Every structure is written in C-alpha cells, then in structure tokens.
C-alpha cells in the first residue's frame, strides 16, 4: 500500500514537473536544446543503457530517452548483409528472423547501382518493420589487402566503385524513413588489433583511396549516420580527430548527419565529443561520468554540447520511433527471399568456362563434393552475420533445379554436417544458439572424404561440382596458409576429382563460396569452369543453381584483383598476417601496434596494371554465356570534364547484360599516376542476341583530379586524357581521348 502511494506521488510529481515543458517536435529543436540542462545534453550524447532495449537481444544500441522533453529512446542494429539480431525473445513464441542478403562484396560485383538500391530498399523495409531506427551499414572500407577478415562486408579495392555502391545502398535503406550508417570511417583495413592499431597513411593515399569512397557516399548518398572506426589514423584515434570528423567530413564535404563511435568505450570520451563525435555507442556510465565531469570543469563548452546534441536531435525527429510508427514485426520475408536470390544470381562472377562447360545440360547427373555443398556459408562472422530462418545449400538448390545428384555423396555430407551441428548444440545448449547468431563456430571443417568411390562416381555422373567454402569475420584477419591458400584437403579433393573425371571425359566445376580472395593460379587448370558467388546470402545456393542451369546469364565482374600470390600486393609488406620473420620484438609487432601504408596509392589494380605485375584474374573481370562488341566510342571534352558514349551489341546466341568500365589515363608529367583509374561504369539491360544499347557517361573534372600533397589541393592536370572502355582493367575494347586545356585545382585543408 505504502509502495503504491509512493509511486503515485512520484508519478504525479513527474507529471507536474514536466507540465509546461516543451516537448520535442521537428520544428522546435533549438527551443529543446535551450531547455536542456548541461547534464541532459551530456546524457543525450552517451548512448542508451542497454536496459532500454532489452527485447532486442544480440546487438543493439541507441540514444537515451529524456521523457521530460518528449525525447524517446531510439534504437540501432547491425548489418550490413541484413538486419542482425537474435531471433528469439522472452515471453513469445514468435520468431524474429531476418533476410540474409548477399554480402557487400557480391552485391558490388553486380556493378549495378539500381539493383543495389532495390535490394537495400527491401533490407530497409525490414529495419522499419522490426522497429529499428538506425541500421549500422553499409560497411565500406577499402580492400587494401586480401587477408583483411572483414573484406566480405566491404565492396571493393577501388574507392570510386565502393563510393557509388555505398551511395546506392544508403539511398535504398533511407527511402524507408530509417537511417543508414556508413562505416568504418576511416582506414580500418585490418582486424588485428583493430581497436588500437595506428594506420599511418600519406595524405595523398588518404584523400585518393581511403577517404574518397566516403566522400562519394556522403555527397551522393547523404547518409544520416557515420560510424567513426576504432583505429588511430596518423597517431590519433579517428573517433577523436577533429580533422576527420569536423574539418573534412562536415566543413569540406557538407555532412549533416550524426557521427557515432564504433562499439566500445575509449577513454577519451570528452576529446571525442569535442572533435565532433556526437554519440558514444553503445555508451556506458563511465563515459557519462566523464562528460558530466567535463561539463562541471568547463573542459567541454555548452556550445560544443549543443552542437552535438543538435545532430542527435535532428536524427531523433527523423526516426520512425519518434514519429510513432506502428511497426508490424512482420516484413515480407518471402518477397525478400526472392529478391535475395535474384541479386545473388545477377552478381555472381564467372571466372572460367572452358569449352562451354556451363550452363550444364538440364537434368545432368552431378557428383557434388565439398562440405560447403551442405554447409553453405551465406554470410560472414560477427556483427555482419544475419540469422535467417533457413539457409539454402547446394544439395537443395541443385535438386530443385532438376539435376540428379549422386545420393551417396549427398547423404555423406548431410550426415556429417548434421552430426557436427548436433554435437555443438548439445554441448552449448541455448548459449550455442546465441553464439551461433553471430556466426561463430558454425562452419564445419572439410572432412577427409573417402575417395575410393571416385571412379564409380565419375563413371555414373555427367560432371563434378566442387564447393570450396571459407568463413571469416570480425576480430581476426585471415591467414595465408589454409585460408588464402587451399588447404591440403581442398587440394587433394580438386586434384583427385579432376583427375578421375577428366580421365572419363567429364567436366569439373568449382564453386567458390568464400568471403575474401583466395589463391587460384595453382589450380585453375584443373577446373573446366569456376563460379564465384562469394557468400551469397540465404538464397545464394539458388542463385548459383540459376547460373548453372543458364536461367541466369552471369554478369558480375570482380571488384578486386585476384593476385597470383598474396605477397604480390605491396600492402602485404605491411599487413599483420605477414610477420617479418626473425625480426626484433618491435619488428614483429610492426603491423599490430601500427601499420605503415607504405604502398601509398598503389592499392589493387593501380599497382598491378601500372607495374605490369601478372595476376590470376584482373580487377573488373567476369565472363558471360554470350559475347559483346563495343562500338567506336564518342568522347567529348566539356567545360567541366568529359562526356562519353559507347554502344554495346550482344554478338552471341543468348541474352545477357554487360558491364562497361570506363578507365582514364591521365597525361604524364606532374604527379605520378596509375596507368588507368576507374572513373565511370554502367551496365546494359538484358540484351537479346543482336540487340544493342548505348551507354552514356559524364565525368566532372573534379573526379579526374589527383591529390597534390605539397599544395594541399586536388589537381586536374592539363593535357590529353585517354578514355578506355573495358570489360576488365586489362581487357580494353575501345578508346577515345579528350583534352583539358587548363589545369584545375581545388584547395583543401592541410590536415592529418
């Protein structure tokens, strides 16, 4: 009784105190800011106590509520391949599964910004319908080195392609009225010691490679949020860098959204807030204490608090939660699954198709090898993992496509994988489900398949399919041995299967179900066809089957180089997986405490193409079931850059789409430049045999500029520019040229 009276008094007091207080509206943000105490401002800038969002177990953060002023708590959840949270909740039998779309690397391989936007729109719809306000994706760091453990979440080694894809992704998500977050800004290119590593990068490489993709995404996608990465950049934590978070991001690029930390707490909370990091995520009491202490001591000013709070409040009023949206908890997962399958099929890269091995003939008898055929990897590990209700595997998709599978083999892998999963589940019980929801421990390792049945399998089948699977993710970089390189078992499998099948005149198809680049040069000749679906999401196995049957004509192209050896990447000289053997203690920690980006701008094809280093597959490469011819292009100088057009004709026998890559070679003299740089790209619609389409491009002079460190300016040199229209960076089909009459420069702040 006493307790009830007490509660009534407290409640009435709260009502009385909040009576007459302004309540947050989209048009009274300034009034609310003025009404906030210093303490309230500080609390708005340090994320929500987890208890505010108990029901979103798994991963969540957000902004704390301030009921007095009508400020609701808002919530954010991971991505980027789909919404990430635990599918079970207390006190309900309802499940909360999400669609696992293909990973960033595969979707970018479509080179199709329209399709990217469409897929992200469906993903954003799940964000909206599950009651989430902010989505922590897209991930868009540059593939500096093939061994970065999180490359699967990211798009490309090229900043232009990465920026364009990210902008499309952001537009798709935000079309739903929810916020997208571009991450991890910036130079977060390795997982080893990711929270402390100092990336030491030249100003030129930063501007041209590691910031350029964010610049494009910010200007063209207008994301509502940006996540500052954990690492240091040139000696200072990105989260605490005024140069990065304010001078470049806001003053130069005109960013208007909210800036948040990557998840975890660094000691320099106050420094971060002063630098322009608006929101500490997920936020803890110590950080709040530090902020309150700084307010008391005057080491953070009221103006600084108000500036950050303004960004946060603008975000809050934009959220579905603030607007009272009644989310359904019931997105159309069936429609999204269909879209995920389509995106996967359309984005797959065909690396090899000797003698028209693919498409396979309808109803072909297949012997399918590799544990990945059963335990197919849909997405990678960590916050980027997505818990889908069902992940299709190759056994299922090939059967549904009408192929006749060798049942002994299929049964062998099925039993092997089921036993592995059952053992792990029993051992870990419920904890295991939670653990698994991050993708940890899911992947089953390759068994030593009994190969004594091989001759019979080869005799009874029309072709062999070998699935090579890899998993990787947050917190760890990949290794050279047994990951970049094939394992001894992979090698044995490919060699023995190809020997046996080839001896009987049968074909061998390899499916690369991987999250990052692997070594291919040593075994390419053993396969007749190679498909690269990466980690293609929950329906990806169906996407692969669609390509194998010819229902989908592959039109994906590589967004990075496949080197012959990982060491051919200059960045490998300074990457944690490659310790300098026999060095001093300090030498061994070289790429742990700090990493010298000594290669500068020579990342990916910029290095391989310019220096003529042979590769296994070049940037931009990908085959089709048809052939395309490029017309003589039209290239014209404009008052601001150039325009170009080229007509593509389908000269083969089946319908197909072609990606046209536009590379520019700048005039020599002045700054040293890559021999070719991607400056535009386009994709045709599906062209029937004999059909043509003209693709047009327009490139502003600013996009042609290189960064001159001495002048702290972007510079577009005067002279003659060659424009190449390629089916890959090495396969130039047509060229034109134009002239820039006068040098153009854009001065920027001399920072970092």
Q: Which residues bind ligand BGC (CB under 6 A)?
A: 59, 78, 136, 183, 262-263, 383, 474
Query: Least separation, in Å, of the C-beta of 321 and ligand BGC?
Result: 19
3-state secondary structure of 307: helix
> Which of 136, 358 has the CB closer to ligand BGC?
136
State the residue number with the nearest CB to ligand BGC. Answer: 383
The full DSSP string for 191-235 is -TTTTT-EEE--HHHIIIIITHHHHHHHHHH--SEEEEPSSEETT
Residue 316 Cβ vs ligand BGC, minimum distance, rounded to whole Å: 19
For the bound state, the minimum distance from the C-beta of residue 583 to ligand BGC, rounded and expressed in Å, comes to: 29
Residue 718: CA atoms inside 13 Å, Cβ hemisphere, count? Answer: 4
Q: What is the 3-state secondary structure (H, E, C) of 13-46?
A: HHHHHHCCCCCCCCCCHHHHHHHCCHHHHHHHHE
Q: Output 262 or 528, the one with its CB closest to ligand BGC.
A: 262
Burial of 531 (C-beta count, 10 Å sphere; 0-12/13-18/19+): buried
Judge contact between 681 and 662, C-beta under 8 A.
yes
Please confirm whether the linkage preceding 127 is cis (ω < 30° from 0). no
637 and 718 Cβ atoms separated by less than 8 Å: no
78, 262, 528, 546: which is the annotated catalytic residue?
Answer: 262
In the bound state with ligand BGC, the residue whose beta carbon lies nearer, of 228 and 466, is: 228
- Check if the beta carbon of residue 88 is closer than 8 Å to that of residue 56: no
Please give the Cα distance from 155 to 326 (Å, whole number). Answer: 34
HSE-up of 726 (CA within 13 Å, CB side)?
A: 25
**How near is the Cβ of 344 to ligand BGC at its closest, in Å?**
23
Closest CB 289 distance from ligand BGC, rounded Å: 23
Q: Of 263 and 507, which has the nearer Cβ to ligand BGC?
A: 263
Closest CA to 389 of 542, 539, 535: 539
Least Cβ distance, residue 263 to ligand BGC (angstroms):
4
**Cβ neighbours of residue 299 under 8 Å, at least 6 residues apart?**
270
Q: Name the residue nearer to ligand BGC (CB basis): 134 or 659.
A: 134
DSSP letter for each residue of 92-157: ---B-----PPPHHHHHTT--HHHHHHHHHHHHHHHHHTT-SEEE--B-----STT-TTGGGS--S
| Known catalytic membership, residue 593 | no
What letter would DSSP give residue 386? -
Describe the strand order of the beta sheet including 198-200 as a list of residue ranges: 236-237, 232-233, 198-200, 594-596
CB of 750 to ligand BGC, least distance (A): 30
- φ, ψ at 66 (rounded to 5°): -130, 85
Q: Which is nearer to ligand BGC, 56 or 714 (CB)?
A: 56
In the complex with ligand BGC, which residue's Cβ is closer, 106 or 182? 182
Catalytic residue set: 262
């Amino acid at each position: 009784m006493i307790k009830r009276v007490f509660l009534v008094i407290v409640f009435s007091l709260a009502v009385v105190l909040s009576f007459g207080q302004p309540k947050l509206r989209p048009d009274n943000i300034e009034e609310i800011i003025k009404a906030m105490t210093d303490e309230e401002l500080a609390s708005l800038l340090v994320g929500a106590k987890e208890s505010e969002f108990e029901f979103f177990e798994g991963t969540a953060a957000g902004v704390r509520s301030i009921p007095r002023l009508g400020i609701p708590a808002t919530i954010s959840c991971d991505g980027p391949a789909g919404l990430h949270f635990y599918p079970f909740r207390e006190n309900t039998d309802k499940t909360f599964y999400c669609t696992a779309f293909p990973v960033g690397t595969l979707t970018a391989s479509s080179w199709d910004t329209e399709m990217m936007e469409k897929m992200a729109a469906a993903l954003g719809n799940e964000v909206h319908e599950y009651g989430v306000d902010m989505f922590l994706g897209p991930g868009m760091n540059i593939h500096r080195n093939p061994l970065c453990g999180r490359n699967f979440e990211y798009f490309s080694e090229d900043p232009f392609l990465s920026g364009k894809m990210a902008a499309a992704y952001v537009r798709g998500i935000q079309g739903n009225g929810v916020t997208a977050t571009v991450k991890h800004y910036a130079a977060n290119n390795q997982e080893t010691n990711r929270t402390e590593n100092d990336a030491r990068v030249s100003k030129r490489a930063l501007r041209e490679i590691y910031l350029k993709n964010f610049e494009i995404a910010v200007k063209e996608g207008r994301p509502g949020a940006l996540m500052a990465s954990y690492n240091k950049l040139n000696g200072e934590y990105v989260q605490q860098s005024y140069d990065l978070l304010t001078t470049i991001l806001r003053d130069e690029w005109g960013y208007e959204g909210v800036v948040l930390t990557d998840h975890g707490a660094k000691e320099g909370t106050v420094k971060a807030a002063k630098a322009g990091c608006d929101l500490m995520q997920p936020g803890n009491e110590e950080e709040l204490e530090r902020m309150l202490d700084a307010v008391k001591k005057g080491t953070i000013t009221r103006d600084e608090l108000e500036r950050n709070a303004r960004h946060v409040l603008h975000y809050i009023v934009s959220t579905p939660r603030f607007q009272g949206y009644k989310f359904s908890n019931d997105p159309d997962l069936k429609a999204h699954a269909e879209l995920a399958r389509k995106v996967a099929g359309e984005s797959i890269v065909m690396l090899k198709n000797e003698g028209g091995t693919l498409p396979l003939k309808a109803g072909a008898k297949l012997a399918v090898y590799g544990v990945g055929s059963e335990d197919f990897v849909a997405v990678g590990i960590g916050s980027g993992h997505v818990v889908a209700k069902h992940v299709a595997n190759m056994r299922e998709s090939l059967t549904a496509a009408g192929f006749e599978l060798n049942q002994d083999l299929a049964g062998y892998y099925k039993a092997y994988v089921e036993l592995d999963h059952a053992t792990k589940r029993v051992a870990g019980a419920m904890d295991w489900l939670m653990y698994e929801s991050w993708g940890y421990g899911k992947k089953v390792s390759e068994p030593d398949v009994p190969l004594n049945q091989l001759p019979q399998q080869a005799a009874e089948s029309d072709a062999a399919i070998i699935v090579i699977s890899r998993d990787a993710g947050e917190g760890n970089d990949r290794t050279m041995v047994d990951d970049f390189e094939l394992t001894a078992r992979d090698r044995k499998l490919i060699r023995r299967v190809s020997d046996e099948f080839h001896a009987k005149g049968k074909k061998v198809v390899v499916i690369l179900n991987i999250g990052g680049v692997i070594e291919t040069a040593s075994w390419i000749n053993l396969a007749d066809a190679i498909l690269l679906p990466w980690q293609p999401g929950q329906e990806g196995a169906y996407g692969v089957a669609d390509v194998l049957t010819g229902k989908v004509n592959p039109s994906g192209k590589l967004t990075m180089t496949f080197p012959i050896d990982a060491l051919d990447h200059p960045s490998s000289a300074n990457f944690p997986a490659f310790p300098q053997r026999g060095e001093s203690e300090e030498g061994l920690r070289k790429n742990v405490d700090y990493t010298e980006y000594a290669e500068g701008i020579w990342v990916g094809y910029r290095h391989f193409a310019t220096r003529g280093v042979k590769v296994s597959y070049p940037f931009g490469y990908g085959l089709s079931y048809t052939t395309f011819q490029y017309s003589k292009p039209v290239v014209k100088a404009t008052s601001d850059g150039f325009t170009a057009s080229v007509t593509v004709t389908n000269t083969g026998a089946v319908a197909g789409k072609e990606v046209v890559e536009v590379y520019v070679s700048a005039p020599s003299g002045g700054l040293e430049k890559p021999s070719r740089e991607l400056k535009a790209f386009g994709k045709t619609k599906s062209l029937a045999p004999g059909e043509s389409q003209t693709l047009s491009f327009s490139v502003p002079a600013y996009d042609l500029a290189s960064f001159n460190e001495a002048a702290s300016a972007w510079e577009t040199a005067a002279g003659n520019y060659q424009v190449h229209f390629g089916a890959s960076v090495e396969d130039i089909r047509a060229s034109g040229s134009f002239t820039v009459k006068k040098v153009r420069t854009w001065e920027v702040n001399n920072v970092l």
